[in-house]
Chain A
Amino acid sequence: MSAVLDLIARCGAERPALLWLLPLALLPLVAAPRRRTPLPSLSAVPADPLSRALDGALRAAACLALAGLVVGLAGPYRNGAEVTRTGIGAEISMLIDRSGSMNETFAGRQPSGAEESKAAASRRILGDFVGSRAHDLFAVTGFSTAPMLVLPMTDRHEAVRAAIRAIDRPGLDYTNVGRGLALALAQFGSGPGTASRVLLLVSDGAAVIDPRVQDALRAAFAKVRPNLYWLFLRTKGSPGIADRPAGEDTPQAAPERHLDLFFKSLGAPYRAFEAEGPEAVAAAIRQIEGLERDPIPYIERRPRRDLTGAAYAAALLGLVLLILGKLAEADLGRAPAPAATRAPERRIAA
């Protein structure tokens, strides 16, 4: 019983209002499309179970035809189902620096001629990365002074590529990485993940993270437990991740080094890639792709099934029976004796 209810619950109609016409299917119980033959009294005829049965069958066929047509008109369908399967991939939350300096080249100049800006290089390489594996889930977050949720976690790779295509447009002000990290972590949702989680930070600089935000980030990292990758697009001549400043070693003097130290102190699996050109960026992405080869449950959507054909098939069955019935009509009294044994019975019953 519950299986039947379940089946009905999974069905729908495109024009459900038309289903109000279904009572029309009861019309054959009071009217029949058969010829009427005047007869003084039915009591004159002996009771005939075969005639009654034929009458019932023809009325049922008419009900079926009408019900099938009404249901067919309403456009019935069975809802698509979602099946969870397991593939290879990861939940990847991309946090992309949209500050103004991303539009400069790796040499720190405005791009000219064939030169590629850092944003354009990451656009090209990340665009290839998205969709290279069918079952990865992606979320995109941008940040400059404020974090911006660009796309929530999704398996629709075309939308993710559209978001990646937008990242080499002119950037905004400054690099405020702390709040961006908080939003990128929030993209994983609050539940305990079922897949490997990757936070990919693409930036060309770092900034001091407010101590209050640092505490919140530590808590969030401990809860989400992502693998953290920092793709640092280093401009030539600027300090790298490992460089100690000449003077005092404070976060203000060497933000990159201290962001790296902060990431190391989180206890989450962490790797930094320092890229000084497009080839290095591509190599780093390939490496990340190779590292993240864990099973991921993904959802396969079965499209909804159109049941209109089935409804019309039922209607056609009923109609064919009705038409045969019409063809087999006989007239009382006029029919010749040998064949008259069956046909008059039907007329009487009708």
Chain B
Amino acid sequence: MRLGLPWRRNLGGWRFRALAAAGLLVLATFLVPPLRLSRDGVRLLAVVDITGSMNVRDYAAERRPQSRLEAAKAALRRLVAGLPCGSQVALGLFTERRPFLLFEPVEVCAEFAPLDGAIAALDWRMAWEADSRVSAGLYRAVAMAAELDADLVFVTDGQEAPPLPATGTPPFDGRVGAVRGLIVGAGGYALSPIPKFNDRGREVGFYAETDVQQENRFGPAPADAESREGYNPRNAPFGSSAARGTEHLSALREAHLKDLAARTGLAYAHLDGPDSLAAPLSAAATPRPVPGRLDLRPVLGAAALLLVLAAHAAGPLRARGGRLTLRKA
């Protein structure tokens, strides 16, 4: 039986062609495999300072004061959650004068739950000593990162306890820039009191001026010691009066951290909210290719959608345009 349809006209119409092309595009979504490509992943060693000054509450979250440690944990958890699959993260603590590795690098997607749980469980109570020799800890963390073949993210507020001696920051004897990464400065720029805890872990107030060492009196005396009251080269090389200062209060020592960053070849970033780490890290870290795949179906689907919409909308639009020209004429 012969159908008396205007085949040529039907097949030649552009709306038919648009719909047919859309149909082919949708058909292609079932046939085109995802594009294989490599994405930039990272391999990180995150070391978090858990010393006393990290308990200072000079951040805010949900309108409540938040300690530097909590802010650092929130930022690290956000960072880990946003890393592309295939990236690896190791976690360490810092207190006293060295980092302590909790676990070697683990993949961030398959092992996300324990990784996230371990970051959430970081606590100042894990500290095995009360000293906070930030520069020594950082140098050793750099060595540890090199050993793990990872980039370093070192979160600290930069407060050295005891204070640095008059001779200043100890020298870095590793190779500058051999390990890439980020020093993250945690804390506000204004001095805040440091909470004090008793031996059962309960908060019992704040540190007072006489509770902490205000001046490091090991090693040679500073150059101005001779002008101090009661100075005696043998018996009182640092003067006779007790040192006074603000070491019992804490602010982010950004200048010290930037100096350490320059010495070690790391980058510096200020911890400013939970989302503040991703951008500086991607700039500072070594990109490591991890396999990724690009799904092409959204592209095909979007093209098909536009074609179908055009086929539908063209008729009424042209009709309206036609009327308008008629009126003008």
Interface residues, chain A, with chain B CB atoms under 8 Å away: 15, 24, 27-28, 30-36, 62, 65-66, 69-70, 72-73, 75, 98, 140, 142, 144-152, 154, 156, 158-160, 162-163, 165-166, 169, 172-173, 308-309, 312-313, 315-316, 319-320, 322-323, 326-331, 334-336, 338-340, 343
Cα distance A308–B297 in the bound complex, in angstroms: 9
**Nearest residue in B to A170 (C-beta to C-beta)?**
B98
14 A-B pairs, CB-CB below 8 angstroms? A31-B315, A36-B319, A65-B22, A66-B309, A69-B26, A142-B102, A146-B127, A149-B126, A169-B100, A316-B26, A320-B23, A323-B23, A326-B16, A335-B6
Q: Does A148 lie within 8 Å of B26, measured CB to CB?
A: no
**Of B11, B123, B298, which is within 8 A of A73 by CB?**
B298
Query: B91 to chain A: closest CB distance in Å?
Result: 9
**Of A27, A32, A326, A339, which is within 8 A of B3 by CB?**
A339
Residues in A whose Cβ lies below 8 Å from that of B226: none
Task: Summarize B's interface: helix, strand, loop or mixed.
Answer: helix
Q: Is B115 an interface residue (CB 8 A)?
A: yes
Cα distance A309–B32 in the bound complex, in angstroms: 12
Q: Does A33 lie within 8 Å of B19, measured CB to CB?
A: yes
Query: B219 to chain A: closest CB distance in Å?
Result: 24
Q: Does A154 lie within 8 Å of B312, measured CB to CB?
A: no
Q: Is B191 an interface residue (CB 8 A)?
A: no
Q: Is B15 an interface residue (CB 8 A)?
A: yes
**B interface residues, tally (CB under 8 Å):** 60
Q: Is B172 an interface residue (CB 8 A)?
A: no
Query: B199 to chain A: closest CB distance in Å?
Result: 10
Residues in A whose Cβ lies below 8 Å from that of B11: 327
**Nearest residue in B to A165 (C-beta to C-beta)?**
B104
Residues in A whose Cβ lies below 8 Å from that of B104: 162-163, 165-166
Query: B305 to chain A: closest CB distance in Å?
Result: 4
**Of B102, B312, B316, which is within 8 A of A148 by CB?**
B102
With A36-B319, A166-B104 known as contacts, the answer to whether A151 contacts B26 (CB < 8 A) is: no
Residues in B whose Cβ lies below 8 Å from that of A98: 100
**Nearest residue in B to A342 (C-beta to C-beta)?**
B3
Residues in A whose Cβ lies below 8 Å from that of B297: 72, 308, 312
Cα distance A169–B302 in the bound complex, in angstroms: 54
Q: Chain B 130-159, CB within 8 Å of chain A: the 1/0 string?
A: 000000000000000000000000000000
Please give 8 more A-B residue pairs, beta carbons under 8 A apart, in addition to A32-B312, A69-B304: A33-B308, A34-B315, A98-B100, A145-B129, A172-B128, A316-B26, A326-B19, A328-B5
With A148-B126, A151-B117, A159-B114 known as contacts, the answer to whether A31 contacts B106 (CB < 8 A) is: no
Residues in B whose Cβ lies below 8 Å from that of A32: 312, 315
**Of B10, B93, B106, B117, which is within 8 A of A152 by CB?**
B117
Q: Does B106 lie within 8 Å of A162, measured CB to CB?
A: yes
Interface residues, chain B, with chain A CB atoms under 8 Å away: 2-7, 9-11, 13, 15-16, 18-20, 22-23, 26-27, 29-30, 90, 93, 100-107, 110-111, 113-115, 117-118, 121, 123, 125-129, 297-298, 301-302, 304-305, 308-309, 311-316, 319
With A145-B129, A156-B114, A323-B20 known as contacts, the answer to whether A35 contacts B29 (CB < 8 A) is: no
Task: Tell me the total A-B contact number using a CB cutoff of 8 A.
Answer: 184
Q: Does B308 lie within 8 Å of A66, measured CB to CB?
A: yes
**Nearest residue in B to A313 (C-beta to C-beta)?**
B30
Q: Does A166 lie within 8 Å of B312, measured CB to CB?
A: no
Residues in A whose Cβ lies below 8 Å from that of B309: 24, 27, 66
With A72-B29, A73-B302 known as contacts, the answer to whether A169 contacts B5 (CB < 8 A) is: no
Cα distance A84–B237 in the bound complex, in angstroms: 71
Q: Does B315 lie within 8 Å of A36, measured CB to CB?
A: yes
Query: B194 to chain A: closest CB distance in Å?
Result: 19
Q: Does A173 lie within 8 Å of B315, measured CB to CB?
A: no
**Of A149, A331, A339, which is within 8 A of B123 by CB?**
A149
Leading 4 A-B pairs by shortest Cβ distance: A339-B4, A152-B117, A163-B103, A33-B311
Query: A316 to chain B: closest CB distance in Å?
Result: 5
Q: Does B10 lie within 8 Å of A329, measured CB to CB?
A: yes
Query: A296 to chain B: closest CB distance in Å?
Result: 18
Residues in B whose Cβ lies below 8 Å from that of A69: 26, 301, 304-305, 308
With A31-B313, A146-B125, A326-B13 known as contacts, the answer to whether A335 contacts B103 (CB < 8 A) is: no
Cα distance A169–B9 in the bound complex, in angstroms: 80
Residues in B whose Cβ lies below 8 Å from that of A73: 298, 301-302, 305
Q: Does B30 lie within 8 Å of A334, measured CB to CB?
A: no
Cα distance A313–B16 in the bound complex, in angstroms: 20
Residues in A whose Cβ lies below 8 Å from that of B113: 154, 156
Q: Does B23 lie within 8 Å of A159, measured CB to CB?
A: no
Q: Does A158 lie within 8 Å of B110, measured CB to CB?
A: yes
**Of B20, B23, B27, B114, which is within 8 A of A151 by CB?**
B114
Q: Does B316 lie within 8 Å of A319, measured CB to CB?
A: no
Cα distance A66–B102 in the bound complex, in angstroms: 52
Cα distance A163–B114 in the bound complex, in angstroms: 11
Cα distance A73–B2 in the bound complex, in angstroms: 41
Query: A44 to chain B: closest CB distance in Å?
Result: 21
Q: Does A312 lie within 8 Å of B301, measured CB to CB?
A: yes
**Nearest residue in B to A146 (C-beta to C-beta)?**
B128
**Nearest residue in B to A33 (C-beta to C-beta)?**
B311
Residues in B whose Cβ lies below 8 Å from that of A308: 29, 297
